[in-house]
Amino acid sequence: MTTRLIAQFFDQRLQPTGLKNTQFTLLVVLRQHAPVSITRLAELLGMDRTTLTRNIRILKKDGLIEEQSADDARVRLLTLSEGGETLVTKATPYWRQAQTEFLKRFGDDRWHALKQELTDINYVVS
């Protein structure tokens, strides 16, 4: 429930861009690592391939992601389109403002403690 509430908070702040928080994150990671395979992108995002593929399909349809062949015909490499670059640039200030607002409401000390707890949980379950 908490994850959904936080996602909704960021989704509302990104609404003027037409992006959901998950889409924005996917595009930012893609920008940082492109060209990248779907498998590698899924690893970077901590998502399963099926969920990622669904999101990629939407972003490709919207012209934000481009797909190209790799040396291995079974692998498709993803990059941001020019429109994707433009939208990430437009959306970044909205995301930063949302992050600032969230941290102001939640508090820096609590945020750092929560991040440590989540890191510890990841260690335990890995």
Per-residue pLDDT tens over the stretch 5-33: 999 999 999 999 999 999 999 999 999 99
The answer to whether 42 and 49 are in contact (CB under 8 A) is: yes
Mean pLDDT of 2-6: 90
Mean predicted lDDT score pLDDT of the chain: 93
The secondary structure of 31-45 as a DSSP string is HHH-SEEHHHHHHHH
CA within 13 Å, CB half, 67: 15
Q: Is the pTM of this model over 0.75?
A: yes
- The predicted pLDDT at position 99 comes to 95
If one compares 118 and 83, the residue with the highest pLDDT of the two is 83
Task: From residue 44, give the alpha-carbon distance in Å to each of 73, 83, 100.
Answer: 22, 22, 24
- The predicted pLDDT at position 124 comes to 87
- The predicted pLDDT at position 88 comes to 98
- The predicted pLDDT at position 77 comes to 95
| Helices marked H in the chain | 2-14, 21-33, 38-45, 49-61, 82-106, 108-125
- Is residue 70 scored above 80 in pLDDT? no
